[in-house]
Amino acid sequence: MKIVLDYGHCLSGPDTGASGNGYREEICTREIGKKVRSKLVSLGHSIVVVSPDYASSVSESLRIRVSSANSAAADISVSIHLNAGGGRGTEIYTKNGSTLVEASNILREMNSIGYINRGIKNGSELALVGGIRTKSMLVECCFIDSSDMNIYNPERIATAIVKGLVGQEVSTPNEPQTPVNPPTTPPGTDRYVNLNKSVNS
Protein backbone atom coordinates (compact mmCIF):
# COMPACT_ATOMS: atom_id res chain seq x y z
CA MET A 1 0.00 0.00 0.00
CA LYS A 2 1.17 3.54 -0.72
CA ILE A 3 0.72 5.85 2.26
CA VAL A 4 1.24 9.60 2.62
CA LEU A 5 2.57 10.49 6.05
CA ASP A 6 2.52 14.04 7.42
CA TYR A 7 4.38 14.99 10.59
CA GLY A 8 2.26 17.91 11.79
CA HIS A 9 3.79 21.43 11.92
CA CYS A 10 7.30 22.70 11.16
CA LEU A 11 10.33 22.59 13.43
CA SER A 12 10.81 26.34 13.01
CA GLY A 13 9.02 29.32 11.50
CA PRO A 14 5.38 30.42 11.86
CA ASP A 15 3.90 26.89 11.68
CA THR A 16 5.18 25.40 14.91
CA GLY A 17 2.59 23.60 17.03
CA ALA A 18 1.25 23.52 20.56
CA SER A 19 3.29 23.04 23.72
CA GLY A 20 2.69 21.71 27.20
CA ASN A 21 4.24 19.67 30.00
CA GLY A 22 7.71 20.51 28.63
CA TYR A 23 6.90 19.03 25.22
CA ARG A 24 6.60 20.60 21.77
CA GLU A 25 4.10 19.24 19.27
CA GLU A 26 6.34 19.56 16.21
CA ILE A 27 8.99 17.41 17.89
CA CYS A 28 6.51 14.83 19.15
CA THR A 29 4.90 14.44 15.71
CA ARG A 30 8.31 13.58 14.29
CA GLU A 31 9.15 11.20 17.13
CA ILE A 32 5.93 9.33 16.44
CA GLY A 33 5.86 9.77 12.66
CA LYS A 34 9.38 8.53 12.00
CA LYS A 35 8.64 5.38 13.97
CA VAL A 36 5.38 4.91 12.02
CA ARG A 37 7.31 5.30 8.77
CA SER A 38 10.00 2.80 9.80
CA LYS A 39 7.45 0.20 10.86
CA LEU A 40 5.37 0.56 7.69
CA VAL A 41 8.44 0.32 5.46
CA SER A 42 9.52 -2.84 7.27
CA LEU A 43 6.08 -4.30 6.47
CA GLY A 44 6.61 -3.58 2.77
CA HIS A 45 4.54 -0.44 2.35
CA SER A 46 5.57 2.57 0.26
CA ILE A 47 5.69 5.77 2.34
CA VAL A 48 5.72 9.37 1.09
CA VAL A 49 6.59 11.90 3.81
CA VAL A 50 5.28 15.38 2.92
CA SER A 51 6.41 17.42 5.94
CA PRO A 52 8.71 20.45 5.55
CA ASP A 53 10.80 21.30 8.61
CA TYR A 54 10.51 25.01 7.79
CA ALA A 55 8.10 27.24 5.86
CA SER A 56 7.87 31.02 5.75
CA SER A 57 4.15 30.97 6.62
CA VAL A 58 1.40 28.60 7.73
CA SER A 59 -0.11 28.89 4.24
CA GLU A 60 3.15 27.85 2.61
CA SER A 61 3.54 24.93 4.99
CA LEU A 62 0.06 23.68 4.15
CA ARG A 63 0.48 24.20 0.40
CA ILE A 64 3.65 22.10 0.41
CA ARG A 65 1.99 19.29 2.33
CA VAL A 66 -1.25 19.25 0.35
CA SER A 67 0.45 19.54 -3.04
CA SER A 68 2.95 16.79 -2.21
CA ALA A 69 0.23 14.53 -0.87
CA ASN A 70 -1.96 14.95 -3.96
CA SER A 71 1.01 14.42 -6.30
CA ALA A 72 1.79 11.13 -4.55
CA ALA A 73 -1.52 9.53 -5.61
CA ALA A 74 -1.40 7.32 -2.52
CA ASP A 75 -4.03 4.97 -1.13
CA ILE A 76 -4.41 6.93 2.10
CA SER A 77 -3.00 10.05 3.75
CA VAL A 78 -2.35 10.27 7.50
CA SER A 79 -1.44 13.52 9.30
CA ILE A 80 -0.09 13.14 12.84
CA HIS A 81 -0.74 15.79 15.49
CA LEU A 82 -1.06 16.33 19.21
CA ASN A 83 -4.08 18.18 20.55
CA ALA A 84 -4.26 21.08 23.02
CA GLY A 85 -6.89 22.70 25.19
CA GLY A 86 -6.71 20.63 28.35
CA GLY A 87 -8.80 17.66 27.25
CA ARG A 88 -7.84 14.01 27.20
CA GLY A 89 -7.74 11.25 24.61
CA THR A 90 -7.45 10.56 20.90
CA GLU A 91 -9.68 11.91 18.15
CA ILE A 92 -9.49 11.55 14.39
CA TYR A 93 -10.72 13.92 11.69
CA THR A 94 -11.96 12.60 8.34
CA LYS A 95 -13.87 14.07 5.40
CA ASN A 96 -17.42 14.74 6.56
CA GLY A 97 -16.70 12.70 9.67
CA SER A 98 -16.80 9.50 7.63
CA THR A 99 -16.23 6.37 9.69
CA LEU A 100 -13.12 4.99 8.01
CA VAL A 101 -12.19 1.48 9.10
CA GLU A 102 -8.60 2.58 9.58
CA ALA A 103 -9.64 5.49 11.80
CA SER A 104 -11.84 3.27 13.96
CA ASN A 105 -9.02 0.76 14.27
CA ILE A 106 -6.49 3.41 15.30
CA LEU A 107 -8.88 4.74 17.96
CA ARG A 108 -9.31 1.21 19.31
CA GLU A 109 -5.55 0.62 19.42
CA MET A 110 -4.92 3.98 21.09
CA ASN A 111 -7.59 3.19 23.67
CA SER A 112 -5.82 -0.11 24.40
CA ILE A 113 -2.68 1.79 25.48
CA GLY A 114 -4.60 4.09 27.79
CA TYR A 115 -6.05 6.98 25.75
CA ILE A 116 -9.74 7.91 25.86
CA ASN A 117 -11.55 7.34 22.54
CA ARG A 118 -12.96 10.75 21.57
CA GLY A 119 -14.29 9.45 18.27
CA ILE A 120 -14.22 10.43 14.62
CA LYS A 121 -15.04 14.06 13.76
CA ASN A 122 -15.65 16.16 10.68
CA GLY A 123 -12.36 17.51 9.37
CA SER A 124 -13.50 18.67 5.94
CA GLU A 125 -12.20 22.19 6.56
CA LEU A 126 -8.75 20.98 7.61
CA ALA A 127 -6.23 21.29 4.79
CA LEU A 128 -4.68 17.85 5.38
CA VAL A 129 -8.13 16.26 5.24
CA GLY A 130 -10.45 18.24 2.97
CA GLY A 131 -7.62 19.32 0.68
CA ILE A 132 -6.46 15.77 -0.03
CA ARG A 133 -7.99 14.04 -3.04
CA THR A 134 -7.57 10.52 -1.69
CA LYS A 135 -8.82 8.93 1.53
CA SER A 136 -7.38 10.98 4.41
CA MET A 137 -7.35 11.47 8.15
CA LEU A 138 -5.77 13.71 10.75
CA VAL A 139 -4.93 11.91 13.99
CA GLU A 140 -4.84 13.97 17.19
CA CYS A 141 -2.92 11.39 19.22
CA CYS A 142 -3.37 12.92 22.67
CA PHE A 143 -3.44 16.26 24.51
CA ILE A 144 0.01 17.79 24.94
CA ASP A 145 -1.18 20.01 27.82
CA SER A 146 -2.93 17.41 29.96
CA SER A 147 -2.28 14.26 31.97
CA ASP A 148 -2.24 12.37 28.65
CA MET A 149 1.49 13.08 28.57
CA ASN A 150 2.00 10.97 31.68
CA ILE A 151 1.71 7.94 29.42
CA TYR A 152 3.20 9.50 26.28
CA ASN A 153 5.36 6.92 24.55
CA PRO A 154 6.22 7.47 20.84
CA GLU A 155 6.99 3.78 20.31
CA ARG A 156 3.65 2.56 21.64
CA ILE A 157 1.69 5.27 19.84
CA ALA A 158 3.44 4.46 16.55
CA THR A 159 2.69 0.77 17.00
CA ALA A 160 -0.99 1.58 17.63
CA ILE A 161 -1.21 3.75 14.50
CA VAL A 162 0.49 1.13 12.31
CA LYS A 163 -1.65 -1.72 13.64
CA GLY A 164 -4.77 0.37 13.12
CA LEU A 165 -3.77 1.28 9.56
CA VAL A 166 -2.61 -2.07 8.20
CA GLY A 167 -3.64 -4.68 10.75
CA GLN A 168 -0.04 -5.65 11.57
CA GLU A 169 2.44 -4.49 14.14
CA VAL A 170 6.21 -4.33 14.31
CA SER A 171 7.88 -4.44 17.68
CA THR A 172 11.31 -2.89 18.08
CA PRO A 173 12.44 -4.16 21.50
CA ASN A 174 15.86 -2.56 21.27
CA GLU A 175 14.39 0.94 21.20
CA PRO A 176 13.93 2.78 24.52
CA GLN A 177 10.38 2.69 25.84
CA THR A 178 10.61 5.85 27.92
CA PRO A 179 9.30 9.14 26.55
CA VAL A 180 11.77 11.56 25.04
CA ASN A 181 11.50 14.95 26.71
CA PRO A 182 12.15 17.69 24.14
CA PRO A 183 13.37 21.25 24.78
CA THR A 184 10.96 23.52 26.59
CA THR A 185 11.20 26.57 24.33
CA PRO A 186 7.55 27.65 24.06
CA PRO A 187 6.35 27.90 20.46
CA GLY A 188 3.00 29.15 19.20
CA THR A 189 -0.16 27.39 20.23
CA ASP A 190 -1.78 26.52 16.90
CA ARG A 191 -3.87 23.40 17.44
CA TYR A 192 -3.94 21.77 14.05
CA VAL A 193 -3.75 22.62 10.39
CA ASN A 194 -6.77 24.49 9.13
CA LEU A 195 -6.82 26.55 5.98
CA ASN A 196 -10.08 27.00 4.10
CA LYS A 197 -8.35 28.52 1.07
CA SER A 198 -6.28 25.39 0.57
CA VAL A 199 -9.37 23.24 0.82
CA ASN A 200 -11.34 25.34 -1.63
CA SER A 201 -8.48 25.37 -4.12
Average pLDDT over the chain reads 89
- Interval 131-150: pLDDT, tens: 999 999 999 999 999 999 99
**What is each CA distance from 133 to 52, 63, 145, 165, 172, in whole angstroms?**
20, 14, 32, 18, 33
DSSP symbols for the chain: -EEEEEE-S-SBSTT---EETTEEHHHHHHHHHHHHHHHHHHTT-EEEE---SB-SSHHHHHHHHHHHHHHHT-SEEEEEEEE-SS--SEEEEEGGG---HHHHHHHHHHHHTT--EEEEEE-TTSHHHHT-SSEEEEEEEEETTSGGGGG--HHHHHHHHHHHHHS-----TTS--SPP-----------S---HHHHH-
More confident residue, 3 or 180: 3
User: Which pLDDT does position 140 carry in this prediction?
Assistant: 98
Quote the pTM value: 0.85
For residue 192, pLDDT beyond 60:
no
Instruction: Give the pLDDT band of residue 188 (cuts 50, 70, 90).
Output: very low
User: Which pLDDT does position 196 carry in this prediction?
Assistant: 40
- Interval 75-116: pLDDT, tens: 999 999 999 999 999 999 999 999 999 999 999 999 999 999
Percentage of the chain modeled with pLDDT above 70: 85
